[in-house]
Structures are given as C-alpha cells and as structure tokens.
Amino acid sequence: MPGSLSLAPLLVLVGNTPPNIEYANAPRPLTRLDMLRFARRLVEQQAVQQLAVIRRWIADE
C-alpha cells in the first residue's frame, strides 16, 4: 500500500538497550525516556499524515 507505515525504526528505538546516539548539539546523551518520547511524536506525526492520505483516497472514490 502506498505510504504504508513501517515499525522497524521504532523497534530500534524501544529495544532493551538504547543505541549509542550522540549529537553535537545535545547537552547530554539521550535516555530511553527521551527516545520513547521521540518515538511517540514520530508515530503521532505519521498517523496524521496517513489519515490525510486515507481521506484523499476516500474523496477520490
């Protein structure tokens, strides 16, 4: 299906041990909670985008 969501990146984010991700502008290493909050925001954003796609498909019918 076009525009389908993939959960593979989320599995990396919510695994048992957080990946060692470092950013130049990060004041501290990301915690598991930071990554979970980021994953939640990402899923919410993707859900909104997918709903817009589905609304367009419905309108086209």
Among residues 49, 7, 42, 8, the alpha carbon closest in space to that of 34 is found at: 42
Task: Name the residue with higher pLDDT: 57 or 19.
Answer: 57
Give the pLDDT of residue 27: 75
Between CA 46 and CA 52 the distance in angstroms is 10
User: Which residue type does 45 have?
Assistant: Q
- Are 56 and 3 within 8 A, CB to CB? no
pTM for the complete prediction? 0.49
The pLDDT tens digits for 4-56 are: 554 445 445 555 555 566 556 667 888 999 999 999 999 999 999 999 999 99
Listed in sequence order, the residues at least 6 apart from 1 whose beta carbon sits closer than 8 Å to its beta carbon are none
User: Which residue type does 50 have?
Assistant: Q
